Amino acid sequence: MLFNSIDFALFLPIVFLLYWFVFNKLKIQNLFITFVSYLFYGWWDWRFLGLIFFSSLVDYAIGILLKNQQKILLRKVLLVLSLSINLGFLGFFKYYNFFVDNFVQAFTLLGHSFQHQTLQIILPVGISFYTFQTLSYSIDVYRRNLEPTTDFWSFFAYVSFFPQLVAGPIERASNLLPQFYVARKFDYAKVVCGLRQILWGLFKKMVIADNAAELANQIFNNSSDYSGSTLFLGALFFAFQIYGDFSGYSDIAIGTARLFGFSLMQNFAFPYFSRDIAEFWRRWHISLSTWFRDYVYIPLGGSKGSNWLKLRNTFIIFLLSGFWHGANWTFVAWGALNAIYFLHLLLFKRNRKNMSHISIEKNISSIKTIASIVFTFVLTIFAWIFFRAENLQQAFEILSAIFSASLFKIPDVWSQKMLLLLVFFVAVEWKGRHGKFALEKFGLNSARATRWIFYGFLVFLILVLKPTEEIPFIYFQF
């Protein structure tokens, strides 16, 4: 079920009313959340309900076994079992054909050829997200950082919680699971705040991302026909497409969870206003970057040790992040390029330089800040070319065209409407950058009538500029 669909527009208010006014006891609410979450997920393809159920059951059982097991060796065996089952499912559905194809190509280069057959595998929506979510639970229980639960329905509701089930945020059990243990009370202020965040998320997705996608797809799908200036513009549109699409989903998810009395972690913190790449990665897809930090980077040694170890750990974390996104060398290249961007900051100990809020005043330092933001944004645009390209050859051809004299030609494809929308979008995001989402505090000091006119304007733009068909979120394929 898509957040930007008529189905969800009917589903959400019905679930909301039943949750608060019919099933208003804690255990019944948790059971109800599990049921509607499975309904929400099964709306896409009911055949994969068994997969998420089995994954949940495995980690629920392993948590209980870890609770009663004191022997270090057996605890390690249980953890390895959880890792093997969860990553095994993820590896099969997401990477089987990739590894088979590349294995065959490697042997072909060595002069050996043999016939092989790939499988017609359907990637279960959200498997990368809920797999990491259940794994974090088992790892935290193994580390004794979290007390394992014996509440079956709370755990299953935690894993399948429909607002963030298919595209995050990737919630830690330490944050979300305890919220299923305590009674939730209806809070009008939280509901209003949640609706504001949903509205902004829908605007990001249906107005910014989907309209930018139309132009980005036209340019990338015919990249050999266009000049460097047009290709750079296409990469710019894709940068706003993926941000509007993915952060829009996160806003809708977090806002929807707030309607039911839950607090999810912030997943985006205005990343395109970052002053360097290190800051960008503290602001972009926060739930994934912190997951890799806590469960891979720090156990490897993090930023401690020699420069060689720092380089190794940095490349591992960025390559894994790229590969997590999909079975294509373009994603690996995207991760590697971001690692290269990051290296000089790490080696010169400047990766934690920009930790404060971004402020612009009329002085020289502000000019430097703006220049840093623009430069960092341009670097991310070049990296997104690898993310969006069909293959490495296309990515390098696009870059070659951009770094040619044709960069100075008038673009063949552009849209005045889209550029005006982007100016409006960036202005609102900049104004609201100190909140957890753009509209959290935006206009709260203004008259109520002014706020409602603004909200009405957003609704008007959504209704007028939304695409004619429901377009899935980009991260559904990851």
How far apart, in Å, are the Cα atoms of 37 and each of 11, 34, 125, 471? 11, 5, 13, 21
Catalytic positions, written as ranges: 325
Element (H, E) at 455: helix 448-465
| CB atoms near residue 95 (< 10 Å) | 16
Q: Give the length of the chain.
A: 478
Tell the residue number behind the tokens 């026909």, with chain if given.
Answer: 225
**C-alpha to C-alpha distance for 171 and 4, rounded to whole angstroms:** 22
Comparing C-alpha atoms, which of 54, 73, 75, 52 is closest to residue 63?
Answer: 75
How many other CB atoms are found less than 10 A from the CB of residue 183?
9
What one-character DSSP code corresponds to residue 362?
Answer: S
By C-alpha distance, which of 327, 317, 249, 316 is closest to 90?
327
DSSP 30: H
User: What does the alpha-carbon distance between residue 432 and residue 438 come to, in Å, rounded to a whole number?
Assistant: 4
DSSP string, 245-286: HHHHHHHHHHHHHHHTT--PPP--S-GGG-SSHHHHHHHSSH
One DSSP character per residue, 57-113 reads HHHHHHHHHHHT---HHHHHHHHHHHHHHHHHHHHHHHHHHHHHHHHHHHHHHTT--
Cis-peptide, bond into residue 169, ω within 30° of zero: yes
CA separation for the pair 397, 135 (Å, rounded): 39
Q: Is 235 exposed, middle or buried (0-12, 13-18, 19+ CB in 10 A)?
A: buried
